[in-house]
Amino acid sequence: MKASILLVEDNPESRYLFAFILRRAGCTVAEAHNGVEALGAVEKTVPDLIIMDIQMPVLDGYETVARMRADPRLARVPIVGLSAYAMASDRDRAMQSGFTGYIEKPIELATFVQELSSYLPALAAP
């Protein structure tokens, strides 16, 4: 099964790298540069998983996830936050804001898809 993923990341290099890894794992990846674009994307299609940078211009991850969680169509969609902030309080804030999970940047290239598979088992399937 191919997983459909919405990748929300403002940094073009990071977005390219994350999308490359996910596509190589067999995922279909839609990309958004910020929270406003992400909200527009989920109006059209509900993905299997959303991976979202927390610190973005225009509309940050906290506000974006709050708006997404208010949409009943997205209630069961896992939303994984990405952040360079590594304090336990940062993880707690993300989880309290509505994120399903939290991955610290820089990501581990070798284990990124495996980390995400705990939120979407279809990623672990051969």
Instruction: Please check whether residue 78 is in contact with residue 120, taking contact to mean a CB–CB distance below 8 angstroms.
Output: yes
Residue reference for tokens 């980390």: 115
pTM score, whole prediction: 0.93
Query: How far apart are the C-alpha atoms of 21 and 33, rounded to whole Å?
Result: 18
Range of the domain at 11: 4-123
* CA–CA dist 109, 61 (Å, integer): 22
Look up the CATH number of the domain holding residue 60: 3.40.50.2300
Per-residue pLDDT of 67-97, as tens digits, reads 999 999 999 999 999 998 767 788 899 999 9
Provide the number of structural domains found in the chain.
Answer: 1
- Specify the pLDDT at position 86: 67
